Amino acid sequence: MCGRYMLHSDIEEILRHYGITKGWGNYTWPMEVFPSHKVPVVVNTGERELVPMKWGFPSPYRKGLIINSRGETVHSKPMFRRAFQQKRCIVPANAFFEWSRAGRDKTKYQFRMKQSSIFSLAGIYEDFQNDEGESYTAFSILTINPNPLVSLIHDRMPVILPREKEELWLDNTVQDIPLLKSLIQPYDESQMEMEKAHP
């Protein structure tokens, strides 16, 4: 799974990286993003736009948040199917974290790109209402079997979109399920690096 990631780039860098001129406001977010945090997410509503969304779909059993969706089944699961077909998004990140376990000890590792500060996590989003009846938008990050680098630490990794595939993923007029599923792949480990991170 992907349970935490880093976004230390400022808003101007994110807008510039994705070629966005529309969207955003006076939102701030913590550098290390946890589930339930509200963070910038890229959508395409005719043009690219940066919008604030909460990380995690509410659980139908009202216990916790569903922060990840399995890339292998996202197109068929009732909770995710409509969002996968109509509401795909990009979650900007500078790194993501996973933990190795040895008995009771856990070691935190950071994964990032070698050549680019910002990279794109494949996400889906949906609109919800909280207990007070207020509307909000939330996203889930897709995961897949890990590449050889991430498999040293964990048995899942987030789906990372190559730069040239971002436009296709964001184009919600595309309904070709096999084509969209072809984007859900472990990222090339030769383009990534890993190091121990602060707890």
Q: Identify the band that residue 131 occupies on the pLDDT scale cut at 50, 70 and 90.
A: confident
Output the pLDDT for position 68: 97
CB 133 within 8 A of CB 50: no
User: Which residue out of 2, 32, 47, 49 is catalytically annotated?
Assistant: 2
Output the pLDDT for position 133: 84
User: Which residue out of 32, 98, 126, 164 is catalytically annotated?
Assistant: 98
Is 89 marked active-site? no
Where do the structural domains in the chain lie, given as residue ranges?
5-196
Is 2 marked active-site? yes
Average pLDDT over residues 143-152: 97
Measured torsion, CA atoms of residues 75, 80, 82, 86, in degrees rounded to the nearest 10: -80
Output the pLDDT for position 91: 98
Average pLDDT over residues 17-33: 86
CB 41 within 8 A of CB 51: yes
pLDDT tens digits along 65-122 = 999 999 999 999 999 999 999 999 999 999 999 998 877 888 999 999 999 999 999 9
Which residues, in sequence order, are CB contacts of 1 under 8 Å at separation 6+? Answer: 67, 68, 143, 154, 156
CATH topology of domain 5-196: hypothetical protein yedk fold (3.90.1680)
Residue with tokens 């990286």: 17
Average pLDDT over residues 172-176: 94
